[in-house]
Chain A
């Protein structure tokens, strides 16, 4: 993955605004980032920070009534914002696939596994009958599910881990270039979580597939992501390679996130350091100050003079904070 490699997914100034009768919410505010071929990018933040909305925007999967999207999402040569429904449908499940948080509700309880897999093959690859079956079995074995009985099963007859594997298999059927994974391990217990992460790692390696991994769990990030983007209140606040971010965060929010992770390695588990306060309500108005100010331990006068811009911190690192780098690194 050289820096000059052409990016697979290019998002520029993406904003998503939802309008209801009571209020207008700017769920995503001018978000820009890239995903390169074969790269695993993590999208991290608290609930409500806009990471899920961002990921849903790529395939245009917002719940109706949909939010208004402005900006640009480019997949290779193709522009996805404002694309026609049929153009989007051609991309979905085909060049870009998505898996979700709850594998039980994400699968149709009334249909057998093979029926749900078959329709993807029929639609995108024009495969039916024995050829389709062969492909299904091939992919299933790649995700670690053996046996034809699984194909005839209904989702409720399978365990949680198996269901997520099925969802992953379904996403891989057409060999997509990008897999969007929206908190795929959150609903699973820890041992299964590890298996699924291992599975995703091996698939990435085999196919040189990119993954956009959305999560709130920094532990998971450390296991699988090459690069991490931290979001807060609908905007990007920091971006860095995983190791750099975890060892040397350059934004107070990232610091606080790291600090709040429960530690099993400290005696007694260490004490818990939650981030005080609540995330802000996202109105459509422009912010007058940095979004994190009310909860920021490093806040100072300058922070209230309008929202800081996203600045470079060397290499590909970006940060949205006016606190000097030296000061952030000093205390460690």
Chain B
């Protein structure tokens, strides 16, 4: 299985980036970042502007990004390509193909269809066709099942919906979690603490669709305050966003609490008090930074979890996001749609991870100069 070997080789290569010397990492990382940015911007701004932005971005990141972040870029951009390859392999391994269900599928018709849509019989061939289409022509390809529409036309309207839902819910997770966790940490072993942690435990123990359906029943059917499902107004956003945010909020609450407790035992907190600072200054100016660190570390996995959870929440509340295209595409074996949604999802999560890395480096000055990982 040559393709599997290629995959394994790719993974090993990714691992090898650990040994890349700093100078090379900086150059390659900046180049890859600019390149990826260019590919993305092309959809919105056209080739020339995208190219200019890509060059600009490369230069800026080369100069200003911490080494730590560029290392991650060096890993993640090829990883993204590898993930796309893996997805392609998976799709081809599955039984059935896009043309099997068509009515008149003689071998000649199928061959013609394949040529028309650019879907060869082997996974690797499809992968190269797809990548060439993406990089040279700047398109995600035609949808095989929805006649005459490209993938970007299909998922275009769904993209902002999913992004809105996801980001709102992450924002909620962080605010709720931090709020609860910090208060619990400051009032350790009191009723507030125990209650908060109990809430957190429940939040982490119930799947989001259970909490979501409970909310649906209570707030829509009994009280009629919020619409049951759908999308379009602020009131539609409330329940899905909250349901999606609760498990992450619970975990963040626990992290914030233990972080706060640990920070408060540090010597520099004693120094702050010895200087006569009021307790509010001690907490906000000194304790907060250290408490945020474990929370920020968690944000990467939190984004991935939000993305995972969004499939279920979108189905439950009938939100017209990208999840439906992914599921439909997979069932119909519409390879281009599946890859398109996969790229967008992966890209979003990776982008978020990079932002988190930047935030982490900004928060902890000790990381800025060295290339060490936290």
Contacts and interface: CB of A to CB of B under 8 A. Distances in A.
A–B contact with Cβ pairs below 8 Å: the answer is: yes
A119 B273 contact: no
A123 B274 contact: no
Contacts of A124: 276
Interface stretch (A85-93, A133-141, A289-297): A85-93
Interface string B259-278: 00000011110111111111
Contacts of A100: 267, 270-271, 274
A154 B267 CA distance: 16
A163 B187 CA distance: 32
A225 B303 CA distance: 59
A312 to B, nearest CB: 35
Nearest to B365: A154
A105 B268 contact: yes
Interface in B353-367: 363-366
A304 interface: no
Nearest to B188: A64
Contacts of B275: 92-93, 97, 119-120, 123, 170
Interface centre among B266, B276, B286 (most CB of A within 10 A): B276
Contacts of A167: 271
A156 interface: yes
A185 interface: no
Contact of A91 (B265, B270, B271, B276): B276
A89 B275 CA distance: 8
B281 interface: yes
Interface stretch (A31-39, A107-115, A237-245): A107-115
A108 B366 contact: no
A110 B276 contact: no
B277 A119 contact: yes
Nearest to B265: A63
B78 interface: no
B365 A109 contact: yes
Contacts of A88: 276
Given A106-B268, A156-B366, A92 B290 contact: no
B272 A108 contact: yes
Interface in A97-131: 97-98, 100, 102, 105-111, 119-120, 123-124
Contacts of B93: none
Contact of A110 (B265, B278, B289): B289
Interface centre among A98, A105, A106, A120 (most CB of B within 10 A): A106
B268 A108 contact: yes
- Judged by DSSP, the binding face of B is helix
Nearest to B279: A85
Contact of B276 (A92, A102, A109): A92
B273 A92 contact: yes
Interface residues of B, number: 22
Given A105-B266, A106-B270, A107-B268, A93 B365 contact: no
Given A110-B364, A110-B365, A92 B281 contact: no
B328 interface: no
Contacts of A89: 276-278
A59 interface: yes
A170 B276 CA distance: 12
A98 B281 CA distance: 18
Nearest to B369: A157
Contacts of B267: 100, 102, 105-106
Nearest to B288: A110
Interface in B283-336: 285-286, 289-290
A119 B365 contact: no
Interface string B182-214: 000000000000000000000000000000000
Interface string A280-320: 00000000000000000000000000000000000000000
A61 B273 contact: yes
Interface string B18-57: 0000000000000000000000000000000000000000
Contacts of B281: 119, 123
Contacts of A97: 274-275
A89 B271 CA distance: 12
B233 to A, nearest CB: 42
A94 interface: yes
Interface string A257-268: 000000000000
Contacts of B268: 105-109
Contact of B290 (A63, A98, A102, A110): A110
A106 B273 CA distance: 11
A174 B273 CA distance: 15
A246 B68 CA distance: 56
Given A105-B267, A110-B290, A154 B276 contact: no
A110 B364 CA distance: 6
Interface of B: 265-268, 270-278, 281, 285-286, 289-290, 363-366
Interface of A: 59, 61, 63, 88-94, 97-98, 100, 102, 105-111, 119-120, 123-124, 154, 156, 167, 170
Given A61-B270, A93-B275, 4 more contacts: A63-B270, A91-B276, A119-B275, A119-B285
28 contacts: A61-B273, A88-B276, A89-B278, A90-B276, A92-B275, A93-B275, A93-B276, A93-B277, A97-B274, A100-B271, A100-B274, A102-B267, A107-B268, A107-B271, A108-B272, A109-B364, A109-B365, A110-B363, A110-B364, A111-B289, A119-B275, A119-B285, A120-B276, A123-B276, A123-B277, A123-B278, A123-B281, A156-B366
